[in-house]
């Protein structure tokens, strides 16, 4: 069984940049979860990502994010990344 380290990053963005930033993050591939928070810190949307659940299953969520982006001026994106442990000998 391999051990995985998880780390979080936070990005401050404007509403109109939300969908583009989420698409960029999803393409990176080592993300476990993406959360969207409003200016008050309340979670508006959460997308759990796993290896097999990227393509078609994320598309409807991106459409919903577009609607949310139209309603907010500023947001925070919290990204949970999975760092694979180094293999012995490398």
pLDDT in tens, 55-82: 556 667 777 778 878 778 888 999 998 8
The pLDDT of residue 37 is 92
The answer to whether residue 1 scores a pLDDT higher than 50 is no
How big is the CA angle at 21 (ends 18 and 23), to the nearest 5 degrees? 110
Q: Can you give the pTM of this predicted structure? A: 0.72
Q: What are phi and psi of 2, to 5 degrees?
A: -95, 145
Residue 18 lies in a domain: yes
Residue 89 lies in a domain: no
Residue 28 lies in a domain: yes
Domain membership of residue 39 as a residue range: 5-83
Q: How far apart are CA 53 and CA 59, in angstroms?
A: 10
Q: Would the CA dihedral through 49, 35, 79, 69 be positive or negative?
A: positive
Residue 53 lies in a domain: yes
- State how many domains the chain has: 1
């Amino acid at each position: 069984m391999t051990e995985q380290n998880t780390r979080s990053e936070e990005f401050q963005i404007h509403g109109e940049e939300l969908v583009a930033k989420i698409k960029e993050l999803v393409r990176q591939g080592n993300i476990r979860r993406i959360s969207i928070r409003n200016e008050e810190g309340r979670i508006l949307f959460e997308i759990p990502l796993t290896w097999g659940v990227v393509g078609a299953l994320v598309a409807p969520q991106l459409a919903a994010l577009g609607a949310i982006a139209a309603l907010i001026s500023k947001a925070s994106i919290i990204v949970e990344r999975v760092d694979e442990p180094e293999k012995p000998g490398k």
